Amino acid sequence: MKLVLLSIAASSFFGATLTSPIVPKVEPKADPISFKEKVAPLLKKYCINCHGPDKVEKGLRVDTYDNLMKGTRYGKIVIAGKSADSVLVKAIKKVPGASAMPPSRRKMTDAEIKLISDWVNEGAKNN
């Protein structure tokens, strides 16, 4: 009788050690897109000639985060978290009805456009 009880105790002990601790599987999450490292260099490359300190088309300057967030003289072009409502993203995606930017033959790549769009959707942070 004693032996039976012991073996039950032992099996439940080993059972417990086998199933716990349960290590949850964590999917690797992509790092947030950095404004300074990723977005600003693109704006500098494609936009600053016409929207910078020298030329300020439509009142828009994209040379600093604060100026970008101020938008044009008519209003904001970045709605944090909402790329579909952001004129900035509509312009670079060349959505019908929006001004296509940059207007020259120079084209942003799909990856560059996605990066800016994703940054807006991540909250358009000054990171």
Among 35, 46, 65, 119, binds ligand HEC (CB under 6 A): 46
Among 33, 39, 78, 87, binds ligand HEC (CB under 6 A): 87
- Residue 78 in contact with ligand HEC, rule: CB under 6 A: no
Residues 6+ apart with CB under 8 A from 8: none
- Residue 47 in contact with ligand HEC, rule: CB under 6 A: yes
- Residue 59 in contact with ligand HEC, rule: CB under 6 A: no
| Of 18-26, 28-36, 56-64, 119-127: span binding ligand HEC (CB under 6 A) | 56-64
DSSP-assigned beta bridge partners for residue 56: 51
